[in-house]
């Protein structure tokens, strides 16, 4: 969703991870050189060295996955590839560490132990840094999920009141700058309590979901739809005057009245009352616009329901 913008620290995380990918092959080359200068036989460390070289060959794939994350893709592929490389490096470290201790016990060659030990220490640091980066990416991914859930109505899949307020502030500021109208409709299902009382709350939930689906079918792509709570909903219509907004909400009202028993999941019919207000004056505040739409909705409810009242 476009409203979930990347934070500055996310870009820093990507840059740090990119730097780490650049450093890994440099350190693997250092380990290779250190091993070649030691008194260890090539056959003793060939398997571990091959594993490290395999890691180096797979780094371009990691870099491509990192670029996709930076462009907004989910980090699942990056995390999976990172875990595989981390596991290979850990196994190479384990074998080299065992080889080092075995050789030291046999020959007590201090310089060889020191050279290989430094190389292994570098690998340990890389493993720790890589693990930290992967943990941070996982944490960031989970944070985005939590943020998304905090803005979504779980029952209908629409945005919730917080979602609507976030967008309303942005759209209202844009409307004031551009001097283009912004329309708001508040919607309330008529006699919804009777549905819950007669058919039960699970049936009421199904009616709300069917209503939300119908609402989404009738609004335009630029419109913002949210469930404010209970059976009350809101539609924000940017760059839409009162006449254009009335066409949209009348279409919604008629579509809801046509919902079939199969769509609703219960043998009943439902209707909706709507209050509509338009901000076409740059001096109008959002609270004032909301209050006008709410008053219009109240009039629609008290004047017979299943109607649109325009403030």
DSSP secondary structure string for all residues of 4-29: SPPPHHHHHHHHHHHHHHHHHHHHHH
Q: How would you classify residue 188: left for phi > 0, otherwise alpha for psi between -120 and 50, otherwise beta?
A: beta
Record the tokens describing residue 165, joined without a space: 């307020």
Q: Which residues are marked as active site?
A: 231
Pairing of strands 232-238, 224-229: antiparallel
| Residues in contact with 117: Cβ distance below 8 Å, sequence separation at least 6, in sequence order | 100
Question: Which residues partner with 184 through β-bridges?
Answer: 236, 277
- How far is Cα 203 from Cα 310, in angstroms, rounded to an integer? 31
Residue 305 is classified by DSSP as: S
């Amino acid at each position: 969703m476009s409203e979930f913008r990347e934070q500055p620290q996310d870009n820093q995380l990507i840059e740090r991870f990119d730097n780490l990918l650049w450093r890994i092959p440099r350190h693997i080359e250092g380990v290779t050189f250190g091993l070649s200068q030691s008194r260890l036989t090539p056959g003793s460390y060939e398997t571990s060295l091959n594993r490290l070289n395999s890691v180096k060959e797979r780094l371009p794939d990691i870099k491509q996955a990192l670029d996709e994350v930076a462009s907004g893709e989910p980090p699942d592929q990056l995390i999976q590839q990172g875990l595989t490389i981390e596991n290979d490096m850990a196994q190479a470290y384990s074998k080299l560490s065992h080889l080092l201790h075995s050789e030291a016990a046999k020959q007590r060659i201090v310089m060889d132990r020191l050279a290989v030990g430094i190389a292994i220490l570098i690998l340990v640091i890389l493993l720790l840094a890589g693990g930290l980066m992967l943990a941070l990416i996982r944490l960031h991914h989970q944070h985005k999920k939590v943020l998304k859930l905090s803005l979504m109505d779980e029952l209908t899949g629409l945005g919730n009141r917080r979602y609507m307020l976030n967008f309303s502030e942005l759209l209202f500021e844009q409307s004031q700058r551009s001097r283009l109208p912004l329309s708001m409709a508040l919607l309330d299902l008529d006699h919804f309590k009777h549905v819950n009382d007669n058919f039960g709350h699970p049936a009421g939930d199904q009616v709300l979901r069917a209503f939300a689906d119908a609402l989404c079918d009738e609004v335009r792509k630029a419109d913002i739809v949210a469930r404010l709570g209970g059976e009350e909903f809101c539609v924000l219509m940017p760059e839409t005057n009162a006449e254009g907004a009335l066409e949209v909400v009348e279409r919604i009202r008629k579509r809801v009245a046509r919902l079939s028993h199969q769509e609703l999941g219960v043998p009943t019919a439902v209707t909706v009352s709507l209050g509509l207000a338009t901000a076409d004056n740059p001096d109008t505040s959002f609270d004032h616009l909301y209050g006008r739409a709410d008053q219009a909705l109240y009039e629609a409810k008290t004047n017979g329901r299943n109607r649109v009242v325009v403030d």
